[in-house]
Amino acid sequence: MCGIFGYVGSRKDAGKIVIDGLKNLEYRGYDSWGVASKVPDGLIVRKDIGKISTVDTATFEEESELAIAHTRWATHGGVTQLNAHPHLSEDRTIAVVHNGIVENYAALRDELITKGHTFLSQTDTEVIPHLIEEELRKTGDFAAAVRNACLRFDGRYAILAMHTASNTLVAARTGSPLIVGVLHNPETPDDYGYFIASDTPAFRKYTHIVQYLDDGEMVVTDGKTIIFSDIQTGEEREKREIEITWEVEEADKGDFEHYMLKEIMDQKESVARAANQDEVQIQTLAEAIKNAYGTFLVGCGTAGKACMAAEYFFSVVANKHVNYAPASEFKVYHHFLTDRSLLIVVSQSGETADVLEAMHVAKSKGAKVLAIVNVQGSTISREADYTLLLNAGPERAVASTKALTGQLAVLLLIAYALAGKLKEGKMLLMETSSMINDMLNPRYVDRLSNLAERIKEHEDLYIIGKSWHYPMAMESAIKIQEVSYVHAEGFAGGELKHGPIALIEEGTPCIALMGKDEVTNDMLSNAMELKARGAFIIGVAPENNPVFDEWIKVPDAKDAQPIVSIIPIQVLSYFLAVKRGKNPDMPRNLAKSVTVK
């Protein structure tokens, strides 16, 4: 869940390049940061706790053609300057940045200490450069030393190692993502090099051309040449160059103060883009579900709530039973899997560790995998049998907004295709997109801002929903928790009276998510039960009702109701964070892409 970036090539400002690119990866971790640059007399290492966005790029003035950088989300060791990456070998000729976990680091560390190595940090990462150093003494070849070291690691990781003596950059991955950016233009032969990063925004201003490092592979480059190979066997791999299409401006905040608000507003268009899928492909996937002997939906966090809502989509729209399981729990389902099973996985990043593990469990039983992701070329998209892209555009805020509504749109579209009503489903989603555009007007946003002002001092908040609004109630709680740090919980409407209603006091804010459907009257009764205990009822619904103390109007979107119902909660969460003095783009203890288990 850390950000990794490295450059080697003809340019003389490698330190500035990597620190500038690292700022575009801060959403992947912002506990601490660090940079190592090769200079004529060795290495310059700078690292500190805090956010990389506050660092002045202009201070990196040293001439350098090779540098690596890292922004950290801590797993092993506290947030300190010593624990920040990069970490160095004993002789300071090797620097390493790392994403993931070396699960057997304690045994490796003990072994290296007996050989005279001294460790300065509490991290698992520090064993990597020291072990590479030991292997280099045996082989004399840096790439071989990195490979031999990798063969001894347990766990999922991505590493980037630089060597001052050979001016070489080596990357290796098993689980965590790494992408190569290619800077080789025949029209400017003197300007060349390679970038290696955990995500494309790091180098997007320099090149549109990428090469993907697959799981279990490593890459070696001196800036002029590049060699991909299998970590286990050393066998070289051919890689094609791929052009990525989204523009830098899509990932900028523009006139918005935060990415989160910008991405909420992007939903005026992103839902329509998600719904604009190739009809033949959607029909093919619907047939795969129809013919499968057991279909499972798998996701984590927000994507998991989209999967939960899809259980209702398939039931209500297509009269089809589909099972949901959190990705982290899915491996216990292996008893039920066969080669006729189908796994539908949902992930914004396409790199979620628990989802990848679920895929491997399914594939070990011969099951097929359908992936719904937002990042083209991601690991999940490459390993799946079928892939659908959300087309939401880059999502930089840690709290997922437009990716969620894109996931809901794609899953609802598949349910309609399974029911033989694909065109009807696409039309519904296009109408819903138009409704969202009308809903997200300045007056509406201001009203939600004012509501956030009224309830910002409350430390507890509850959300209820039934049917597909039940998972949206749980998703609402996630949004409020992660950006404002208010204690929020989502419940099925009828479950509060079975225990949690004991928590309701005079004035406790409670949000009721409703549509115009078969459970509306039940939800009104549940809201009344809360109000009778003193709750302040915020109704998110197409129609007002006397039980509401505050009514947030949403369109009547029929089967797409969860999409329009969650958006005002996203806006409310944003303003709760801002009014409580929190940064909604960078919530504490969280990172955008969860690439560790």
The residues assigned a catalytic role are 2, 592
Q: Is the dihedral of CA 474, 480, 482, 485 positive or negative?
A: negative
φ, ψ of residue 588 to 5 degrees: the values are -65, 145
524 neighbors 542 (Cβ within 8 angstroms) = no
Distance from C-alpha of 104 to C-alpha of 152, rounded to nearest angstrom: 9
Angle between helix 402-418 and helix 279-291 axes, rounded to 10 deg: 70
> Between the CA of residue 525 and those of 463, 528, 541, what are the distances in Å?
14, 5, 14
Helix 469-484 and helix 561-579, axial crossing angle in degrees, nearest 10: 20
316: number of Cβ within 10 Å:
17
Alpha helix stretches (DSSP H) within 151-292: 259-265, 267-275, 279-291
Sheet strands side by side (includes 3-9): 42-49, 32-39, 66-72, 3-9, 192-197, 179-184, 209-212, 242-243
The residue type of 210 is V
**DSSP-based three-state secondary structure for 487:** strand
Report d(CA 102, CA 127) in Å as an integer: 9
Unique residue bearing structure tokens 């119902």? 565
The closest alpha carbon to 36, from 122, 124, 98, 80, belongs to 98
